[in-house]
Structure 1
Amino acid sequence: MNTFYEFFAGGGMAHAGLGEEWKCLFANDFCEKKAASYRKNWGDDHLVVGDIAKVKANQVEGQADLAWASFPCQDLSLAGNGVGLDGDRSGTFWAFHKLMKQLDKDGRKPHMIALENVYGAVTSHGGKDFEAIIKSLVSVGYRAGGMIIDAVHFVPQSRPRLFIVAVDAKLTVPSELCAETATPAWQPAAIVKAYNRLPKKLKDQWIWWAPPAPDTTPGTLDQLIEHEPQGVTWHTPEETAKLLEMMSEVNAQKVELAKQAGRLKVGTIYRRTREGRQRAEVRFDGISGCLRTPSGGSSRQTIIVVEGEKVRSRLLSPREAARLMGLSDNYVLPERYNDAYHLAGDGVAVPVVAHLARHIFEPLIESYRRLQLVKVA
């Protein structure tokens, strides 16, 4: 069975994406609320709750095929404070790196590492943070490459994220897993620019990962909404009318067109400040905006349902948020709305993890094991 560590585990969405053919040897998260959800869904025999900086190598079992780390994004986000890897939150990456060095010293570093973060991690501090991440991986004996993968190719949510996949430099990477140059679908201009800024010794350890395109259709927002939502209530007609009044002429026209569609239309609304005035912006393209953690009311998405002249609105439900992340309805969510929404908005899209597992991680493991059998023979 394939094995993995799950750092910054949250509710275990990487666990969900890797699936039943993978066994978690160790998981860690700082947040007790998220850990409670992790326990309900995955058990706690391998879970350590607490600061990653205090985790010791002897607490981490065995040698895993993969270490997954969706480290905090707040300091790297384009909407964040801009301190990057020097920040208290995103800077926890260095504690993870230190632990990987300790495992390397013990002769049991993971065969692969996968890092996930926001798009802004590519350009943070003029690309210096990205370079620092690649340099840190190379220093522990890995080759690495980055991809931008948008969850919209798998679920109806616009969620572009940076994924860096690193593999032990001693292992052979099958040629079908990579390309000689950038693949625009996975390495857009920002990644290419970041690569071009790297010093030659890091470029020499770069891999242009080239997984196949997704072979599934993401569906649309109206296919996953709850018609009898749990955990939220519909707005009053007055509250809905207020939202409509906050729309610009362009956005109000979108609602009018939805009324004329002749069928039920589901959209999402974000409240934003434009030129000093709060506005409600709507989209009816069947795609949700990127889920965010609910630090404030404006970060929560509002659902708008239009059926002829009937217009209703409400907050996105916890289960809908989970579905937008690719979690199954069997996944046990926190009871409190904010906790459930935070868990979803702070996670990694499950089907993206599954795609990487199927087309990069598992082929690498299979290649490695075949080589081991040849050596034994």
Structure 2
Amino acid sequence: MAARLAPKELDEFAGQEEILGPGKLLRRAIEADNLKSAVFFGPPGCGKTALARYIASRANAKTFDLNAVMAGVADLKKIIEYSRGLGAGLARNQRVLLVLDEIHHFNRTQQDVLLPSVEKGEIILVGMTTENPFFYINQALLSRFIVVEFKPLKPAHLSAIFDRALTHPEGLANLKPEVTPGAKKYLIENSSGDARRLLNALELGVVTTKPGKGGTRVIDEAVARESIQRRSLRYDRSSDEHYDHISAFIKSMRGSDPDAAVYWLAKMLEAGEDPRFVARRILICASEDVGNANPMALVTALSAFKASEVLGMPEARIILAQAAIYVACSPKSNASYMAVNAAQAEVKSGVERAVPMHLRDGSKDGEALGHGKGYKYPHDFENHYVRQEYMPDPRVFYEPTDQGFEIEIGKRLKRLRGEQ
């Protein structure tokens, strides 16, 4: 049904106003039949294929359809030869349009075959992929594309598509469906912004429901639940989604939002992410973003890492959630992170310092070379502290914040430095 209801005009597209709205670059290029090679990327069911088919239907071009999963170099060479006039059938001023689905499956060799023809304009290539093209398409080919990102459809867009399917002659109108508000709401909420998934579930529910009085087929929430599959999670450990989710998880902990942190954690684990990968990120955040504002955060994160290794899933999810929530709710400081960065910068390009004689190891050559001579053992002095040189040309790297336990650390350092 998704194919039957594909838009015949640009104004019929639901969503994607950022790229197809009036006056937008892509829309102007399509309307002028002047589209150059492009790659459409975004989640399933958001209109990439429908737009490519629409472009092919109205372009003055000989169109070839390929799926990168099944196509090889030989298929590409045939199309390229055709575009160079070695084949018959091209009308005057007619171009060659290659609509290539799942373009991210092409390896580097296959992409290199396309490059000269795309560069010379011998073929117009419209590639489609659910993956981020910056991860899968080589830079030389990508630089010849208009890169267009499609977004998941919003509930309002899905609602319009849903209503059109019920009333359109090419849809389900002849089957006299009657969908309850609860069923519609359930299907839209569980379609994950995917119009194809929504339409398939709706069609399945309608055609498998026996007609009642007057031939009407009533689709209630129970039928809707049976018709749509368990919500699929868009997450691949080798894709852009992997990095986007872990980034959201870390930034939620850093931003002190335990609810968001535990949501992204749950989504990653539900999609099959390695709990050790998640645990390592909690460890990093506990030190980089909490630090000495709450030193127990690092202890908790390390305990969670070890416990999750011992327990495994599904119990590890509880341990990781506890640690992520603890880190998210802790006072924040990146003072230690900033201190080591500043110290490393000083080591690389600042003043080069040698270890002072009194700090050197004197266990073997103390008497002969004077290493360790004059060192003052702090525990021999009042308050276990004594002033002495620990670094030539001293410089401050660690500056405690006014958060959590670092307040006390700051007070102590000020006393030791004689600032109060």
Question: What TM bracket, shorter-length normalisation?
Answer: under 0.3
Give the TM-score normalised by structure 2: 0.24
Question: Which has the larger helix fraction?
Answer: 2
In terms of Rg, which structure is larger? 2
Q: Which structure dedicates a bigger proportion of its chain to strand?
A: 1
